[in-house]
């Protein structure tokens, strides 16, 4: 009697997913821009631009505009965004019987944990508002980086975590929403994907600078770092990442294969 071997499913080799603009040159440009701004600030350049923008915002910040900006700035809160993406990922995991929709949230959290937080601690820069509330620094002392003599909670302005978080987490939301809607027989237009990914970060970048919670260069640095992390996230071959044996029963794809 000849034994019949059960057919096996061979997962194709994991390949990085395409991003736009294609290639690594844009990643290198983002990293170079981030390094250039950091070096410039370390050498006390760009302070005039930061001060001019902060002074203009303070002079054009009536109570109503302040309140509206505060509300919209919540779009960049990292913890609620993390919980929201985790919830959507869990819902999609149940609907598709696949653990893979949970992976983007895990990877995004890891990326923010090893980049944004350490960068803030290392650069040790106060916010513009540090001159009008604790620790009540002289205005000129709120601008420089590397103020390690200040308590940590007063020197975590650079780069803007709100802006970087908004870019990364809304990118995850867009990644999850499209397959989630497909699981309900609906579709998400590319234009709506763009709106989800672009509008909240732009709003957060404007409001966090307008409120005096970050210098303009903090927000620009957060933008560059966020875009760099977002490109790393969207390159991940989510359908083909190897999983432990216990999870292979929950191993279905959740994003369209490319190529």
* Residues 124 and 132 sit within 8 Å (Cβ to Cβ): no
Q: What is the reported pLDDT for 1? A: 40
pTM for this entry: 0.90
* Residues 223 and 29 sit within 8 Å (Cβ to Cβ): no
How many Å apart are CA 43 and CA 252, to the nearest integer?
A: 51
Token representation of residue 27: 């990643």
Q: Which residues pair with 98 in a beta bridge?
A: 251
Closest CA to 162 of 127, 122, 208: 208
With the CA atoms of 57, 146, 26 and 197 taken in that order, what torsion angle do they form, in degrees rounded to the nearest 10?
-50
Q: Pinpoint the alpha helices (H) of 60-131.
A: 63-73, 78-96, 103-123
Residues 214, 160, 103, CA angle at the centre, nearest 5°? 155
Closest CA to 241 of 227, 230, 254: 254
Residues in CB range of 122: below 8 A, 6 or more apart: none
* Residues 188 and 251 sit within 8 Å (Cβ to Cβ): no
Q: What is the reported pLDDT for 10? A: 40
Q: What is the reported pLDDT for 255? A: 78
Cα-Cα-Cα-Cα dihedral sign, residues 19, 22, 27, 32: negative
With the CA atoms of 162, 54, 216 and 166 taken in that order, what torsion angle do they form, in degrees rounded to the nearest 10?
20
Token representation of residue 53: 């923008």
Coil, helix or strand for 98? strand
* Regions of the chain with pLDDT less than 70: 1-14, 248, 256-259
* Residues 158 and 145 sit within 8 Å (Cβ to Cβ): yes
Q: Which residues pair with 251 in a beta bridge?
A: 98
- With tokens 């981030």, the residue in question is 34
Coil, helix or strand for 251? strand
Q: What is the reported pLDDT for 246? A: 73
Where are the chain's structural domains?
A: 24-239
Closest CA to 161 of 207, 119, 98, 103: 119
**pLDDT tens per residue, range 2-59:** 333 333 344 456 688 889 999 999 999 999 999 999 999 999 999 999 999 999 999 9
Q: What is the reported pLDDT for 242? A: 84
Q: How far is CA 4 from CA 1, 7, 9, in A?
A: 9, 9, 16
């Amino acid at each position: 009697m000849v034994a019949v071997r059960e057919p096996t499913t061979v997962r194709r080799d994991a390949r990085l997913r395409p991003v736009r603009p294609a290639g690594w040159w844009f990643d290198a440009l983002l990293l170079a821009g981030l390094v250039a701004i950091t070096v410039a600030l370390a050498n006390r350049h760009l302070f005039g631009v930061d001060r001019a923008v902060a002074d203009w915002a303070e002079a054009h910040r009536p109570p109503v505009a302040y309140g509206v900006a505060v509300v919209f700035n919540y779009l960049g809160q990292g913890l609620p965004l993390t919980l929201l993406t985790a919830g959507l990922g869990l819902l999609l995991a149940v609907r598709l019987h696949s653990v893979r929709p949970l992976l983007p949230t895990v990877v995004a959290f890891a990326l923010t944990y090893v980049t944004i937080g350490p960068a803030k601690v290392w650069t040790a820069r106060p916010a513009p508002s540090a001159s009008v509330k604790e620790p009540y620094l002289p205005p000129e002392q709120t601008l420089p980086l590397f103020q390690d003599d200040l308590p940590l909670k007063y020197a975590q302005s650079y780069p803007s975590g709100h802006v970087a978080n908004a870019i990364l987490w809304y990118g995850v939301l867009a990644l999850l929403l499209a397959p989630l809607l497909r699981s309900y027989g609906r579709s998400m237009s590319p234009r709506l994907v763009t709106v989800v990914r672009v509008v909240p970060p732009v709003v957060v970048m404007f409001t966090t600078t307008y409120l005096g919670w970050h210098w303009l260069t903090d927000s620009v640095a957060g933008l560059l770092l966020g875009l760099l992390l977002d490109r790393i996230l969207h390159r991940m071959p989510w359908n083909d990442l190897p999983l432990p044996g216990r999870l292979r029963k929950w191993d279905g794809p959740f994003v369209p294969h490319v190529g």
